[in-house]
Amino acid sequence: MSGEIKLIAGTSHPALAAEIAAHLGVALTETEIIRFGNENILFQCKENVRESDVFVIQTSCPPVSDLLLELLIVIDALKHASARRITAVLPYFPYARSDKKDRPRISITARLIADLLEAAGADRVLTMNLHSPQVQGFFRIPVDHLNATPIVCNYLRETSNLKHAVLVASDVGEAKDLGEYANRLKLPMAIIDKRRHDDSESPVAVALIGDVAGKAALIIDDEIASGGTMIEAAGFLRKNGATHIEAAAVHPVLSGHAVERLRDSPIERLVVTNTIPLPEPKRDPRIEVVSVAELFADAIRAIHTGDSVSKLFA
């Protein structure tokens, strides 16, 4: 595409934006974002973006809705500043889990987010490890869906003793994604069978499909939010004879008391990526962060030049 690359960082994750810019060898575009006393947001781009290929980096983290509105305001301002193309770079997609109507009279909010981004003026979206890949179908603009699995697998291969390891899905729904990890790491799989006895109860682990006795168990998930599912799985694996338990997740949401619960759990190490910032209260020696900045930089470069994005994580 003609026109230069312009990288604009929202206020959600400035460290990741700076790292992406460093890998690309470009400076972040100078901007100003003001929050007034009445909670209104003002964005101003301090540089000319006319006919530029602009990438706006904004992940989903607290305060989620405030940062989403900030992103929409930034995109709208750039559209009216005559940017040639605007790509919303969303390392963690907002409202990603609200992707279906599984109870009466609720919003499919992930689809609503797609509509809002398009209405604001986004020409395409770049994101990573959607909770449900079919969310791409909510858009009428191109969506490039990056996959952090190769990065996480490489890190696990370099830092873990996988000789007697088994990969574990905390429920049947995670089994498909787990298969990709198993193929890359050449490890066996196990799946925890969960059952819900009635609508008032949370699902309870009742059986294990596979064998973890005397082995190191590695729980895999796309994200860790409250940590309840992963920690419950770890306890169940311990009861079934696992000698060592680790976990990996792409998106470290870590909401509420997740970190405190993790400290009291059998999980000895948690590997995550930096799609979401980890403020000081959420940091812990057992949490290890792998960067996805280089992959995002390579994807941005490929989008700009018209090269293939999917080959980056083949």
Q: Are 133 and 96 in contact (CB under 8 A)?
A: no
Cβ atoms < 10 Å from Cβ of 283 = 11
Residue 200's pLDDT is 45
Q: Are 3 and 53 in contact (CB under 8 A)?
A: yes
- Running DSSP on this structure, what letter comes out for residue 311? G
CA distances from 109 to 21, 46, 101 (A): 31, 33, 9
Q: Are 233 and 170 in contact (CB under 8 A)?
A: yes
- Running DSSP on this structure, what letter comes out for residue 146? E
Closest residue by Cα to residue 43 from 19, 6, 7, 69: 69
Rounded Cα distance between 13 and 75, Å, is 17
Rounded Cα distance between 206 and 193, Å, is 6
Consecutive H or E run containing 258: helix 258-263
The phi-psi region of residue 121 (left if phi > 0; otherwise alpha if psi is between -120 and 50; otherwise beta) is left
Of 194, 215, 282, 311, the catalytic one is 194
Rounded Cα distance between 190 and 172, Å, is 10
pLDDT tens digits, residue range 208-235? 999 999 999 999 999 999 998 899 999 9
pLDDT tens digits, residue range 117-169? 999 999 999 999 999 888 999 999 999 999 999 999 999 999 998 999 999 99
Encoded tokens for 29: 């575009």
Cβ atoms < 10 Å from Cβ of 275 = 29
Encoded tokens for 255: 């909401």
Residue 102's pLDDT is 85
The average confidence (pLDDT) of the chain is 94
pLDDT tens digits, residue range 65-79? 999 999 999 999 999
Inform me whether the pLDDT recorded for 85 exceeds 70.
yes
SS3 content of the chain, % helix, strand, coil (to 5): 35, 25, 40
Inform me whether the pLDDT recorded for 44 exceeds 80.
yes
Rounded Cα distance between 179 and 294, Å, is 25
Rounded Cα distance between 19 and 82, Å, is 27
Is the backbone peptide bond immediately before 63 cis, with ω within 30 degrees of 0? yes
pLDDT tens digits, residue range 161-200? 899 999 999 888 788 889 999 999 999 999 998 776 554 4
Rounded Cα distance between 200 and 7, Å, is 47
Active site residue 194: yes
Inform me whether the pLDDT recorded for 10 exceeds 80.
yes
- Angle among Cα 104, 96, 182 to the nearest 5 degrees reads 115
Residue 89's pLDDT is 98
- How many Å from the N-terminal Cα to the C-terminal Cα in the chain? 24
